[in-house]
Amino acid sequence: MKRNKRTGFTLVEIMIVVLIIGILLAIAVPNFIKARQNSRLQTILGNLKQIETAKEQWAMETGQSSASVPVQADLTPVYMKSWPSGPVTGAYLANAVNADPTFAGKTGAEWKADPSSL
C-alpha cells in the first residue's frame, strides 16, 4: 500500500501563526504611534528653543529692546543656520523678544500640555 505523505501546514497551524502576529501588532502599533508623536514634539520644542536663543542673541548684539520683534531675515543665517521647518504642517514665528516663539500658534509650554494635534 502506498502512503501519500503531504508536507505543509494545516489550517489550524496557519491560524495560530496569524493570531500571534495579530497580537504582536496590537502591542507594537500603539507604541510606534506614541514614539512618533513624542519625536515630533521633541523636534518642535528643540526648534522653538533654537529660535528663542537666536532672538536673545540678536537683541543683545543689536541693542534691541525686549518689545522688538525680529523677522526671519534678522536671525538667519547669522544666529541660526537656517529657519526650521516643522515635522508637521505649521509655521514658526519668532514673536517679540520678551514673548515665547510659537509653532502653529502654540508656545512650547502649550505643546507640552497638549500635543494631540501632532
pLDDT tens-digit readout, 61-106:
999 888 899 999 999 899 999 999 878 888 999 999 999 999 988 9
Query: Is 4 contained in some domain?
Result: no
Buried b (16+ CB within 10 A) or exposed e, 99-118: ebbbbbebbbeebeeebeeb
Query: Which domain, by its residues, includes 29?
Result: 12-113
Query: Is 1 contained in some domain?
Result: no
**Looking at the whole model, is its pTM more than 0.85?**
no
Query: Is 118 contained in some domain?
Result: no
Query: Is 81 contained in some domain?
Result: yes
Q: Could you tell me which of 103, 89, 99, 118 has the C-alpha nearest to residue 46?
A: 103
Query: Is 58 contained in some domain?
Result: yes
Total domains in the chain come to 1
90 conformational bin, left if phi > 0, alpha if psi -120 to 50, beta if neither: left
Query: Is 6 contained in some domain?
Result: no
